[in-house]
Amino acid sequence: MAITIKDIANKAGISAASVSRILTNRGRFSEATAQRVRQLAHEMGYYKNQSAADLSQKESRVIGVLVPTTHTNFADEIIKGMQTKAFELGYELLIAFVETDSQQQIKTVKSLLSRQLLAVVMLAIDIEEPVFEVLTKADVRLLSVSNQLNNVIPSISSDNYDMMHTIVDYLYNQGHRKMALIGASNPDPIVAILRRKGFIDALLDHGITYNPDFIWGVENAYQTGLDAIKKFGNPLPFTAAIGSADIISIGLLNGAKDAGIAVPDDLSIVTIDGTELTQLTRPILTAAQQNFAQMGELAITTLADQNLSPHTIIFTDITLKQGDTVANIN
């Protein structure tokens, strides 16, 4: 038997009309009461007819999320953050996976936009111009998360330029002068551009002229890390490597083991992302940990607050999390 609003009202000790208003985000109620009603609805298995609810309101409560099919587990952490805040504020997520091919992206985006949406969130996606045109012509709010697309769409991400300064400063203080950046040589994505520039400028700040050969690897993949070790050989021409994603850094770690290169004695590694994967390696990876849950939560709250201008960039926290893959060689 389906759970009704009346069932929730009886359990909560308030009127059915009040429950209905809370679940459709109408009226004024204390945060404690609203949270209790939503929690009861969730626990009792209440299923709201979202399409009908959307039609009964001037504004949709559904947020579309575009996720690349090649996403790594950091995307899952962002989605968890989004889901937590969406449930708290009475929004729903509609997730669609997109390919790298622009024609497939257009089909997916048009299908998503056929729904009544409040907004579309692009999660770590580099959008091609034809797809971008479809999105900007739609009557929905747009937001980029874990990426910076352009000055037309607001974004929430880590400060990738500043992050590289934090990492290079840390390695420099540990005595490293020859450093490599692996997995950020793709010329197009803004994140890769910012990381390369931050890396180069941070080295120059310490009086180190960067070696262009030490910025290597295009794909955000495990194989990139493995191939980097094979390319540079043993002994390596650098003492420290920065992996542009956890999966790349795991490739570096395992590639070094295969080549008889000791980590951290012969090679220090700092990874970017700092997801739970870094706790599974031996030794545990030292990481520039991005706050992906915070990105997800901020995505929902900023869309709900409607206070994002096209030029807005919100930077989230970065923490240098100590592991066992960096040696002090002073």
Residue 80 makes CB contacts below 8 A (sequence gap 6+) with 293, 296
Q: What is the pLDDT of residues 80-117, one digit of tens each?
A: 999 999 998 889 999 999 887 888 888 899 889 888 88
Q: Predicted confidence band at 50 (pLDDT cuts at 50, 70, 90)?
A: very low
Looking up tokens 């545990």 gives 284
| Residue 283: cis peptide before it, omega within 30 degrees of 0 | yes
Q: Is the pLDDT of residue 55 over 50?
A: no
Q: What is the pTM of this model?
A: 0.80
Given a contact cutoff of 8 angstroms between Cβ atoms, the answer to whether 288 and 320 are in contact is yes
Q: Is the pLDDT of residue 138 over 80?
A: yes
Q: What is the pLDDT of residues 251-270, one digit of tens each?
A: 999 999 999 999 999 999 99
User: Quick one: pLDDT at residue 307?
Assistant: 65
Given a contact cutoff of 8 angstroms between Cβ atoms, the answer to whether 77 and 20 are in contact is no
Q: What are the structural domains, with CATH classification, of the chain?
A: 5-48 (no CATH), 62-158+293-316 (3.40.50.2300), 160-289 (3.40.50.2300)
Backbone phi, psi, residue 295, to 5°? -55, -45
First to last CA, the chain: 70
Q: Predicted confidence band at 51 (pLDDT cuts at 50, 70, 90)?
A: very low
Distance from C-alpha of 197 to C-alpha of 273, rounded to nearest angstrom: 18
Given a contact cutoff of 8 angstroms between Cβ atoms, the answer to whether 85 and 296 are in contact is yes
